[in-house]
Amino acid sequence: MSGGGADATSAHLPVMFAEVMDGLAVKQDGIYLDGTFGRGGHARGILQRLGPKGRLLVMDKDPEAIAVATRMAAADVRLQWRRGSFAGLAEWAGADGLDGVLLDLGVSSPQLDVAERGFSFAKDGPLDMRMDPDSGESAADWLQRASEKEIADVLWRYGEERQSRRIARAIVAQREEAPLRRTAQLASLIASVLPRGASKTHPATRSFQAIRIHINRELADLESGLDAALARLKPEGRLAVISFHSLEDRIVKQFMARHAKAPPANRRMPVQVAFTPVLALIGGAQKAGEAELAANPRARSAVLRVASKLPVAGPGVAA
Ligand SMILES: C[S@@+](CC[C@H](N)C(=O)[O-])C[C@H]1O[C@@H](n2cnc3c(N)ncnc32)[C@H](O)[C@@H]1O
């Protein structure tokens, strides 16, 4: 897979495509926002279901994703794009009164496949990991300046890495000799300090995930993006979110539950506070089916959650 060029439109298989289209229930004249355009797999599906008056706004932090969106927009006036984080979607003036928002979180296959992006422990490249390589700090720069405790905390919090302190200690010892600049260097350093278990996954898997989440502020962006999406959705507008690990899914699940269900009464708060739901959950957590899993292993960890915005002060009737 090339993935690096703007022509790599087929290098990312959209995950849970049919379920996402069902969840968004695209209206012909609706306005939709895809906050994670990637290579436009889901965006193409939305465009196919929109009529001539419908609109699709797409965002991505990644310049290569935006290059694909720019070309698609040149051929389809219904499509508009903006480079940036979906955390700031509410600042896009056109993104008012949305009929649906899709967030397909994490990294795309082209980002993982191109060694130069530095996301992959399996391919040697510069230790970068930024979705937007023009802003923020690369993984190499962060690992060079962060304290041992900060590194250990990130590995523990975002990677649930039980050997976080050991790995952080090894990173700090290594950088005193020479800076860590390559993904293969970091991957083999982690492999050298972790006891070999029976697990088939590479010992650096959890640490790479943790550093990537930290460098791209993924969980903070998700929290802001969910609030912004809810604020911009019209009544009956749909919110569909695909997450790829438990930290993301917990945020999505709790966000939807907080806006859909009254908090349970408890002993410390025996008087039930008035609660008006603003979201109705559409089904529960959905997983990819067998056929998709066979064709696309990336779908294995995907969890889709969908909710619909309720009319203001309306009763919490699930659709
Ligand atoms: C899993 S891929 C999306 C694939 C897309 N649905 C498709 O079918 O081609 C995730 C994409 O979201 C982008 N992304 C992740 N977090 C983002 C954020 N906070 N703001 C904007 N884009 C983000 C990544 O750069 C990547 O291109």
Residues 104 and 151 occupy one common structural domain: no
Residues 138 and 282 occupy one common structural domain: no
pTM of the model: 0.92
The number of domains in the chain is 2
Domain for residue 6, yes or no? no
Domain for residue 184, yes or no? yes
Domain for residue 28, yes or no? yes
Q: What is the 3-state secondary structure (H, E, C) of 84-152?
A: CCHHHHHHCCCCCCEEEEEEECCCCHHHHHCHHHCCCCCCCCECCCCCCCCCCCCHHHHHHHCCHHHHH
Centre of ligand 1 to C-alpha 40, Å, is: 9
Residues 51 and 96 occupy one common structural domain: yes
User: What pLDDT score does 12 carry?
Assistant: 78
Q: List per-block mean pLDDT (blocks of 10 residues) for the chain, which spans 319 residues.
A: 37 91 98 97 98 97 97 98 96 87 94 88 93 96 98 97 96 96 96 82 93 98 98 96 96 97 76 86 96 93 97 53
Domain for residue 242, yes or no? yes
Domain for residue 265, yes or no? yes
Residues 222 and 304 occupy one common structural domain: yes
Of 179, 198, 215, the position where a domain reaches its end is 215
Centre of ligand 1 to C-alpha 274, Å, is: 37
User: What pLDDT score does 270 carry?
Assistant: 66
Centre of ligand 1 to C-alpha 131, Å, is: 9
Residues 224 and 177 occupy one common structural domain: no
CA angle (35 as vertex; 159, 307 as ends), nearest 5: 85
CA distances to 106, 149, 158, 171, 189 from 164, rounded to whole Å, are 22, 9, 10, 11, 13
Of 215, 245, 272, the position where a domain reaches its end is 215
Residues 57 and 103 occupy one common structural domain: yes
46-50 LR contacts (CB < 8 Å, sep 24+): 46/21, 46/100, 46/102, 47/76, 47/78, 47/79, 49/21, 50/26, 50/78
Residues 143 and 279 occupy one common structural domain: no
Of 155, 182, 215, the position where a domain reaches its end is 215
User: What pLDDT score does 313 carry?
Assistant: 54
Domain for residue 178, yes or no? yes
Give the C-alpha separation, 296 to 288, whole Å: 10
Domain for residue 11, yes or no? no
Q: Report yes or no: 194 and 203 within 8 Å, Cβ to Cβ.
A: yes
The one-character DSSP state at 11 is S
**Ligand 1 residue neighbourhood (C-beta within 6 Å):** 12, 14, 35-36, 38-42, 59-62, 65, 85-87, 104, 106-108, 131, 221
pLDDT tens digits for range 225-257: 999 999 999 999 999 999 999 999 999 999 999
Residues 244 and 97 occupy one common structural domain: yes
Residues 71 and 205 occupy one common structural domain: no
Edge to edge, the sheet with strand 98-104 lists: 79-83, 55-60, 31-34, 98-104, 233-243, 303-309, 279-281
Q: Which residues pair with 240 in a beta bridge?
A: 102, 306
User: Residue 95: phi, psi to the nearest 5?
Assistant: -85, 55
Task: Identify the CATH number of the domain in which residue 36 sits.
Answer: 3.40.50.150
Give the C-alpha separation, 196 to 205, whole Å: 13
Task: Identify the CATH number of the domain in which residue 187 sits.
Answer: 1.10.150.170
Residues 225 and 205 occupy one common structural domain: no
Domain for residue 173, yes or no? yes
> b/e string for 90-116 if b means 16 or more Cβ within 10 A?
bebeebeebbbbbbbbbbbbbbbbbbe
Residues 22 and 105 occupy one common structural domain: yes
Q: Which residues pair with 34 in a beta bridge?
A: 58, 102
Centre of ligand 1 to C-alpha 222, Å, is: 12
Residues 93 and 229 occupy one common structural domain: yes
* Domain carrying residue 288: 17-109+218-309
